[in-house]
Chain A
Amino acid sequence: MPTETPPLFTLDLPDAEATARLGETLAPLLRAGDVLLLEGQIGAGKTHFARALISARLAALGRHEDIPSPTFTLVQSYDAAPEIWHADLYRLTHPDEAIELGLDEAFETAICLVEWPDRLGDLTPPGALTLRFSLRAGGAARAVEISGDAAWRARLQPLESWPDA
């Protein structure tokens, strides 16, 4: 798991707009088979980040759609090339249920944003990028630690100049 190695990036997200901007920055860098594991407690900004990322990818196709929370539906998918899957696994109790949802296949063919990825267990894709969101003291500030392998480091070069990315 990449979580044991030092993060590639540790970024300050002073407000909700910064979290959204991170999603918009990553959006064009992603391709089929990419899995983003979004960690952090309730209210840490996971869904807000995912919404901004999905919204940016759809906007690039000239589409403007609502991005509902996947908490109740477990998965919201968006028809695009590649498809985008937004999953919230909070309510899962066993990794087998992720297979029932079809997540294992989506990991290979779609861009997947997965909230509460600890529910995946052994299904966690080895090449996934982990974003760990946390609250900073005061106001709306958050921080995010981004961890992944060397391939991700190369692809995430636009983040080197954050927050001016």
Chain B
Amino acid sequence: MTRTLTFLGLESSCDDTAAAVVRMEETGPRILASVVAGQTALHAPYGGVVPEIAARAHAEKLDLCVEEALAEAGVTLADLDGVAVTAGPGLIGGVMSGVMCAKGIAAGAGLPLVGVNHLAGHALTPQLTEGLAFPYLLLLVSGGHCQFLIAHGPEEFTRLGGTIDDAPGEAFDKTAKLLGLPQPGGPAVEAEAMSGDPKAVHFPRPLLDRPGCDMSFSGLKTALLRARDAEVAEHGGLRRQARRDLCAGFQAAVTDVLAEKSRRALREYLAHAPEHPAFAVAGGVAANATIRARLEQVAAEVGATFAAPPLKLCTDNAAMIAYAGIARFETGAQDGMDLSARPRWPLDRSAPAMLGSGKKGAKA
């Protein structure tokens, strides 16, 4: 690193609106501020987590997030070296308001503009938090995503496989819903599973019998529904212990699938980069202690370094966008005022398609 770079990052591609300031110093990157304006508080009167559909709502909150992030970081626009923004994939209205806001700031303050792939933000987070060097194997596992990627560089990824249907985070949420547990489902199901017997109810291990790194989680819903209905039919309701057992059985199935597929992905990765044994996990599901411990074990089996960023940087945030923006900028990349929002934007351009390609067509 020859000089210090300070970037503002903006993220508004999904439910959350966020702004952050990250500074790249000689010793590595430092997060000066990271602000996330969740939807939960705003929509609390209506109950539950409501998605942000309108670009307008994102736009309103972006200004406030930027102000707060700059104040918290103790910098002004004059101290910045660039503005990074999520340009996709995601809900088009949200992405567009982020891109517009970033363009406004960049033009007004005379700063370079860098568009960032939201998934690259997640994929590069282990570098931001753990200083992990390229290349490494990444499991991105969250509410909407589940894929194995080899990270070769800031914009260079190879996809080894991913879910062919639901992502695990969605499966946890739906499990919670089916069992009358609160949302978000991840922590609720994990808490119940702690005092449950994972062997009391048998859950399938989808796609384990097939080669490759692809996964499937939607069939676990059927297994759960059947077991729940059998329990209700037999006992006239869902007993506390039965619910704990169902949660434990479900979690064990997800853990087994992720662990075995990680083992295979690591084998493929190590054949490619034997001198760099490193396995990183990013995404909200990495917060599950059982899953995390098993993945750590899988890495240890082959002597690979294991890295998992802290939870608040695993879920959607703008620090990862600012960092990914710096990483792109350092390679000489920069965008003009023609930067457009991309609803679909696969990380691995050689792969035909990937999960989480987002949508297009919403009104701004």
Task: Report yes or no: A51 in contact with B165, Cβ–Cβ below 8 A.
Answer: yes
- The verdict on A64 contacting chain B, using a C-beta distance below 8 Å, is yes
Task: Report yes or no: A102 in contact with B354, Cβ–Cβ below 8 A.
Answer: no
- The verdict on A77 contacting chain B, using a C-beta distance below 8 Å, is yes
Mark each residue of chain B from 87 to 106: 1 if its CB lies under 8 Å from any CB of chain A, else 0: 00011010000000000000
Q: When chains A and B are docked, how far (Å) is the Cα of A51 from the Cα of B354?
A: 14
Chain A stretch 95-110: residues in CB contact (< 8 A) with chain B: 97, 99-102, 105-106
- Given the complex, which residues of B lie within 8 Å of A138, measured CB to CB? 226
Task: Report yes or no: B178 in contact with A42, Cβ–Cβ below 8 A.
Answer: yes
CB distance from A15 to the nearest CB of B (A): 10
- With both beta carbons as reference points, the residue of chain A lying nearest to B144 in the complex is identified as A72
- Given the complex, which residues of A lie within 8 Å of B360, measured CB to CB? 77
CB distance from B246 to the nearest CB of A (A): 13
Task: Report yes or no: B54 in contact with A100, Cβ–Cβ below 8 A.
Answer: yes
- With both beta carbons as reference points, the residue of chain A lying nearest to B174 in the complex is identified as A42
Task: Report yes or no: A43 in contact with B53, Cβ–Cβ below 8 A.
Answer: no
Q: When chains A and B are docked, how far (Å) is the Cα of A69 from the Cα of B225?
A: 19
Q: A47-B218, A66-B355 are in contact. Are A102 and B361 (CB under 8 A)?
A: yes
- The verdict on A93 contacting chain B, using a C-beta distance below 8 Å, is yes
- Given the complex, which residues of B lie within 8 Å of A135, measured CB to CB? 225, 229
Task: Report yes or no: B362 in contact with A91, Cβ–Cβ below 8 A.
Answer: no
Q: When chains A and B are docked, how far (Å) is the Cα of A102 from the Cα of B49?
A: 21
Q: When chains A and B are docked, how far (Å) is the Cα of A75 from the Cα of B53?
A: 11
Q: When chains A and B are docked, how far (Å) is the Cα of A140 from the Cα of B50?
A: 32
- Given the complex, which residues of A lie within 8 Å of B362, measured CB to CB? 75, 100-102
- Given the complex, which residues of B lie within 8 Å of A69, measured CB to CB? 144, 165-167, 170, 218
Task: Report yes or no: A72 in contact with B46, Cβ–Cβ below 8 A.
Answer: no
Task: Report yes or no: A64 in contact with B50, Cβ–Cβ below 8 A.
Answer: no
Task: Report yes or no: B164 in contact with A71, Cβ–Cβ below 8 A.
Answer: no
Q: When chains A and B are docked, how far (Å) is the Cα of A101 from the Cα of B358?
A: 13
- The verdict on A74 contacting chain B, using a C-beta distance below 8 Å, is yes
> At the interface, is chain B mostly helix, strand, loop or mixed?
loop
- Given the complex, which residues of A lie within 8 Å of B46, measured CB to CB? 93
CB distance from A162 to the nearest CB of B (A): 22
- With both beta carbons as reference points, the residue of chain B lying nearest to A48 in the complex is identified as B218
CB distance from A99 to the nearest CB of B (A): 8
- The verdict on B363 contacting chain A, using a C-beta distance below 8 Å, is yes
Task: Report yes or no: B165 in contact with A75, Cβ–Cβ below 8 A.
Answer: no
CB distance from B49 to the nearest CB of A (A): 8
Chain A stretch 52-84: residues in CB contact (< 8 A) with chain B: 63-77, 83
Task: Report yes or no: B53 in contact with A74, Cβ–Cβ below 8 A.
Answer: yes
- The verdict on B219 contacting chain A, using a C-beta distance below 8 Å, is yes
- Given the complex, which residues of A lie within 8 Å of B54, measured CB to CB? 97, 100
Q: When chains A and B are docked, how far (Å) is the Cα of A102 from the Cα of B363?
A: 6
- With both beta carbons as reference points, the residue of chain B lying nearest to A87 in the complex is identified as B359
CB distance from A139 to the nearest CB of B (A): 8
Q: When chains A and B are docked, how far (Å) is the Cα of A105 from the Cα of B166?
A: 27
- Given the complex, which residues of B lie within 8 Å of A66, measured CB to CB? 162, 164, 353-355, 357
Q: A65-B353, A66-B164, A93-B50 are in contact. Are A140 and B358 (CB under 8 A)?
A: no
Q: When chains A and B are docked, how far (Å) is the Cα of A105 from the Cα of B359?
A: 15
Q: Can you list 7 contacts pairing A with B, beta carbon distance less than 8 Å? A: A42-B178, A43-B221, A66-B355, A71-B174, A74-B53, A83-B361, A102-B362
